[in-house]
Amino acid sequence: MLDIKFLRTNPDVVKENIKKKFQDDKLPLVDKVIELDAEYRAAKGRADELRALRNSVSKEIGGLMAQGKREEAEVVKQKVKDMADELASLQVKEGELEAEIRKIMLVIPNIIDDSVPIGKDDSENVEIQRYGEPVTPDFEVPYHVDIMENLNGIDLDSARKTSGNGFYYLCGDIARLHSAILSYARDFMIDRGFTYYIPPFMIRSDVVTGVMSFSEMENMMYKIEGEDLYLIGTSEHSMIGKFIDTFTLENELPKTLTSYSPCFRKEVGAHGIEERGVYRIHQFEKQEMIVVCKPEDSMKWYDVLWQNSVDFFRSLDIPVRTLECCSGDLADLKVKSCDVEAWSPRQQKYFEVGSCSNLGDAQARRLGIRIKGKDGNYFAHTLNNTVVAPPRMLIAFLENNLNEDGSINIPKPLQMYMGGKTKIEK
């Protein structure tokens, strides 16, 4: 959410940013907010004036009564009552205007960084760099579900009966591999100085609207019927919510956290749920990284976060590339974002396995996450990035470690989590 003062004094900048994000339907909202804001400030100014005047006039009543001037005192009393009535009306108006302004401000996109490429959608994202040499074996690489079924590692049919499409049973060594990857990711981030958390898996609506845009919320979140609780789509939601309405001392920053959670997503939209596969599903698990920092440090931490993901995948010898998200592919709260994509030998192309985002002070402004500084208080910057999200990451892992006989090589960093195994075989 933008600062209303910034929008008031820089409406053309806000409008140009909306155009860069190809959301021209939101352009009238800028003028609407300015109009409502002027009305709000006028009502607030009049209310403040009335309060001061009422206090002054009220003092007259006692003096008039002491002088026996009852009739004059009654006239003044009526004036005070009229002021109180007008003030009550203005307070209602203030509340209504404030709520309407906030409602609109929540859908006006954040100002993107100057370095973000301009483009309409993800087809115009820009490759930044590749890490590792993509390899395509001289034998056919099966579909990832076929690889797992050959190793007795997945049961989609039973999950379809119990839960529907978008769910799965992992079993045996594939289930163990899934857990091993998450355990390795946890320790990988702890070794990099991040504090490990397991957060709540449900959050209240005020946290949901604080961490994401309405469109994301509608397409992602599952609501618990009859309660003000939502299942989280990622642990970022809980972890950023942890700082709601807090003041953190400058010398206590940055906060560098890594968190595990299951994730639940409706996945409403053009992509839909895969009937046979684990790339786009309703339920998965993820290791996340979160940073809360001073504004001047956020771009530095942005680079640290995406590099962590690259280093994690390369430690498992999986080729990856980074992809800069263009303006039209950025969610409304994001200032800058890049995807980390892993190499798929079967498809002979890269696919998304994680996303790194700098949200500036958007989440902090919505949730009241402040820094207590020497020269006053100010809003923090927040960032998040995926360390790893199996089972999606399993696709890249299985394809890049597959042998011609269907067995899977286990890289050295994972072997200790797999009981010393060096290979998964049928």
The CATH number covering residue 293 comes to 3.30.930.10
Q: Pick from 117, 111, 122, 8: which is nearest to 333 by CA?
A: 111
What would the mean pLDDT of 220-231 be, rounded to a whole number? Answer: 94
Backbone angles phi, psi at 125, to 5 degrees: -65, 155
> In the chain, how many domains are there?
2
CA distances from 100 to 43, 103, 318, 397 (A): 14, 5, 49, 49
Same domain, 250 and 399: yes
- Would you tell me the crossing angle of helices 298-315 and 172-191 to the nearest 10 degrees? 140
Out of 54-58, 189-193, 371-375, pick the least confident: 54-58
Q: Residue 274 pLDDT > 80, yes or no?
A: no
Is the previous residue joined to 391 through a cis bond, with omega within 30 degrees of 0? Answer: yes
Q: Residue 270 pLDDT > 60, yes or no?
A: no
Same domain, 82 and 162: no
pLDDT digits (tens, 9 = 90+) for 147-185: 999 999 999 999 999 999 889 999 999 999 999 999 999
Contacts 24+ apart (CB under 8 A), 186-189: 186/258, 186/260, 186/287, 188/312, 188/315, 188/387, 189/258, 189/287, 189/289, 189/308, 189/387
Higher pLDDT, 307 or 61: 307
Same domain, 209 and 270: yes
* DSSP symbol at 329: G
Q: Residue 109 pLDDT > 80, yes or no?
A: yes
Same domain, 150 and 61: no
Under 8 Å CB-to-CB from 159, ≥6 apart: which residues? 167, 168, 169
Task: Check residue 58 and give its pLDDT.
Answer: 61
* CA dist., res. 254 & res. 247, Å (int): 13
Same domain, 306 and 234: yes
Domain end point (choices 105, 140, 164): 105
- Decide if 132 is inside a domain: yes
- Would you tell me the crossing angle of helices 392-400 and 172-191 to the nearest 10 degrees? 100
Tell me the percentage of the chain whose pLDDT exceeds 70.
93
Same domain, 345 and 408: yes
- Decide if 115 is inside a domain: no
Same domain, 58 and 162: no
Same domain, 95 and 179: no
For position 38, which CATH number holds? 1.10.287.40
Q: Which domain holds residue 38?
A: 4-105
Same domain, 175 and 256: yes
- Decide if 157 is inside a domain: yes
Q: Residue 74 pLDDT > 70, yes or no?
A: no
Domain end point (choices 44, 73, 105): 105
Q: Residue 367 pLDDT > 80, yes or no?
A: yes
Q: How confident is the model at residue 73 (pLDDT cuts 50, 70, 90)?
A: low
- Decide if 73 is inside a domain: yes
Domain end point (choices 75, 105, 135): 105
HSE-CB for 46 with a 13 A CA cutoff: 17
- Would you tell me the crossing angle of helices 11-20 and 27-66 to the nearest 10 degrees? 150
Same domain, 246 and 170: yes
With H, G, I as helix, E, B as strand and everything else as coil, classify residue 420: coil
Place of tokens 């929540």: 106
- Decide if 155 is inside a domain: yes
Q: Residue 77 pLDDT > 90, yes or no?
A: no
Same domain, 99 and 163: no
- Decide if 167 is inside a domain: yes
Q: How confident is the model at residue 273 (pLDDT cuts 50, 70, 90)?
A: low
- Decide if 117 is inside a domain: no
Same domain, 255 and 132: yes
Q: What is the mean pLDDT of the chain?
A: 92
- Decide if 263 is inside a domain: yes
